[in-house]
Amino acid sequence: MTQQATRLVIVTEKVLTKAVAAIIESYDASGYTLIAAGGMGSHNTRSSGEPSVLDHFGNIKIEVITADPDSAKKIADAVSERYAADYACIIYIDPVEVLYSHRL
């Protein structure tokens, strides 16, 4: 049996990892997944490790799955309000069907 849920994806800068994680935790999400990200966007090209060694400004992709769409939107609002103006930041949500999870 599958369960309907909302997936929130935030692609932003590595320096914001702790701050974004704190926002997610403050909205009662039961967890999140963090992935090192690379790519190209309006701020600059960001590699994930190569060829530049000093990877201070790498990107991350954070995925949060929430049971209701509202808490996903609240997290998105809080993150974009504080960081979207000055940092690379893309946020999107999509509906997902969760096949297995202890709890959401």
Site residues (vs another protein, CB under 8 A): 13, 15, 44, 49-57, 83, 86-87
68-103 CB burial, b ≥16 within 10 A, e <16: eeebbebbbeebeeebeeebbbebebeeeeeeeeee
CA distance 9 to 92: 5
Pick 29 or 62: Cβ nearer another protein = 62
Least separation in angstroms between CB 54 and another protein: 6
Cβ 56 to another protein, closest distance in Å?
5
Min dist CB 57 to another protein, Å, is 6
Q: Which residue lies nearer to another protein by CB, 46 or 74?
A: 46
Q: Structure tokens of 16? A: 């914001």
